[in-house]
Amino acid sequence: MNKRFSITVDIGTTNAKVSLFEIATGELVSRESFQTAKKKDDFGELFDFASIWTQLLAVLTKFVVAHTGNVDSINISSVGEAGVLINEAGEIVSPLIAWYDKRGAGYIDALTTEQKKKIYDITGLPAHPNYSLSKIKWLLEKTDLSKDQAYTWLSLPDLLSYLLTGSLKTEFSMASRTMCYDLLKREWSEEILELFGLSGLIKFPEVGRSGEIVGYTSEGSISELMNETISVRIAGHDHMVGALGINLHSKELLNSTGTTEGLLLIDDTLFINDERFHDSLSNGIFTDPSCYTLFSSMPTGGNAFAWYQEFFDIGKKAFEEECLQLYKSYQKHIVDLNKQLVIVPHFNGSGAPFKNSQSSGMIYGLNLTTRREDILLGLLAGLCLEMKYVSRCFPMERVERLVVIGPAVKNPLWLQMKADSLNKEIAVVQMDEAVSFGALKAAYRDFVYPIDYQIISPDKEHAASFEELIDNYAQLYEAKRNLVEQADSPFVYQSTELNSKEYFMEKDFFFS
């Protein structure tokens, strides 16, 4: 009997991964990756879709040709929010704006508090330029698209499946990231379209379950794949797909790590309420549509380590060695967290509870004896304190443990500090590319694949230090928040009066 195979596609912010699995065993047969190509225009950053598509198609063709007649499916996941418009003839008529691009910020800034609350009550999302709708509005107003026809928005997985099959469809977790999907009614919101002046101009595809068949390659127009009848399926938003891959349950909080970080909780009831609105947490529908999600992204994660390596001009190997040596000192309690730098790692804006793309990082505690390893420890502690601060917006009383996936699983110091900061057990998933595995599981839910965990317990002494630090961190966080909100620039005060917290900042802080 011939083996049957499945291909998973994961388009991330930094890299794209294409994996070939044997379906019966879940064994990874082959994996290839390439950089997610980007380019800049006069307004911000785009994903270079032509380059991404060319590289992806080459890998897909390679895998299919190597296993002719035995590839059963192609399952697609990606970052959320990014997408394109197609016209009534089915042609792509817009660039692929990167999910983190803020060119639509003006439309969000113009919303009243009441309008933002309405958006949250309907879509479960805090009004923010990262989400798709402001990008759609920008494309219609700032490009030469005709207003004499309606356009269809396709998120990135929808676009890839459309090109492979000719069929238009999306999936619940991707629809949840557009800021135009009614989570309770489970339909596209005409009320939100009217709010943005897009009624009659924008359409969206039919929404289906993660892993449902969109179509077949034999029905598409890709000559390299037309001779194969391979089902094409949308797995969904990468964070949610990763949660599916590791069997996340409602008493676990997922920490998905990568270029950025995310915290994710699932439940069978919606989390939408005034408190979540105030904290800017994102709601959505899970890859299992019987469950809802509560999610917060932390815009700084692995990109902070990339900054550190570039800033000090060191390579990945040297960085890993520094982390290892620091880990040994940390385990032996040679380092005192209470006497180290405190870094608020908003190097790329901030997430909940102060979701602001203009927020900048902060370092407190620099002096003439500060060394490079102090900055590294402060950076790691800052990432963990940020996670702890954001986690306070979640119902942590129901969370039994943190489950970690992504590159952080290879950094023992970061993992131990995560456990210590939350004072909770951490389950480290020993799985390479959980998102790819989740995409496989979305298509073949009846299969049970073993998942190995490494359990890390918090260190009582370090956990106590983090409890002391979080109060200081909260003060710094709120002081910085006040500064950002009061000034056109992070360095200019608009008020002639400084309260004690602002004075403390002026005297003692350095902004990155």
Sorted by where each starts, the structural domains of the chain and their CATH numbers stand as 5-240 (3.30.420.40), 241-299+397-457 (3.30.420.40), 302-390+461-511 (no CATH)
The region, left, alpha or beta by phi > 0 then psi within -120 to 50, assigned to residue 468 is alpha
Q: What is the pLDDT of residue 110?
A: 95
- Alpha-carbon distances of 47 from 83, 95, 100, 257, 376, rounded to whole Å: 9, 8, 10, 21, 31
Tokens of 11: 């388009």
The full DSSP string for 76-117 is EEE-SS-EEEE-TTS-B-S-EE-TT--TTHHHHHT--HHHHH
Q: Which long-range contacts (CB under 8 A, 24 or more apart) does 362-367 make?
A: 362/476, 362/480, 362/509, 362/510, 362/511, 362/512, 363/509, 363/510, 363/511, 363/512, 364/476, 364/508, 364/509, 364/510, 365/340, 365/341, 366/341, 366/510
Chain-centre distance for alpha carbon 450: 25
Q: What is the pLDDT of residue 254?
A: 94
Q: What is the pLDDT of residue 498?
A: 30
Strands (E), 371-461: 401-405, 425-429, 453-456
The region, left, alpha or beta by phi > 0 then psi within -120 to 50, assigned to residue 186 is left
Low pLDDT (below 50) residues in the chain: 488-512
Q: 62 exposed, middle or buried (CB, 10 Å; 0-12, 13-18, 19+)?
A: middle
Sheet containing strand 71-78, strands side by side: 28-35, 15-22, 5-11, 71-78, 231-237, 213-216
Question: Which of 165, 124, 156 has the alpha carbon at shortest distance from 48?
Answer: 156
Task: Read off φ and ψ for residue 57, nearest 5 degrees.
Answer: -60, -35
Interatomic CA distance for residues 471 and 479, integer angstroms: 12
Name the one residue in this structure whose structure tokens are 């291909």.
7
Q: What is the pLDDT of residue 89?
A: 94
Interatomic CA distance for residues 392 and 384, integer angstroms: 13
Provide the angle, in degrees to the nearest 10, between the axes of the packed helices 316-331 and 302-311: 110
Tokens of 423: 């004072």
- Alpha-carbon distances of 437 from 8, 98, 231, 272, rounded to whole Å: 8, 24, 17, 30
Question: Which of 221, 219, 236, 222 has the alpha carbon at shortest distance from 57?
Answer: 222
> Going by C-beta distance under 8 Å and a sequence separation of 6 or more, which residues neighbour residue 280?
126, 128, 296, 351, 352, 353, 354, 355
Q: What is the DSSP letter of 445?
A: T
Q: What is the pLDDT of residue 481?
A: 84
- Alpha-carbon distances of 412 from 150, 192, 335, 416, 419, rounded to whole Å: 51, 45, 16, 6, 11
Q: What is the pLDDT of residue 118?
A: 97
Interatomic CA distance for residues 20 and 39, integer angstroms: 29
> Going by C-beta distance under 8 Å and a sequence separation of 6 or more, which residues neighbour residue 159?
49, 83, 84, 92, 96
Interatomic CA distance for residues 77 and 438, integer angstroms: 9
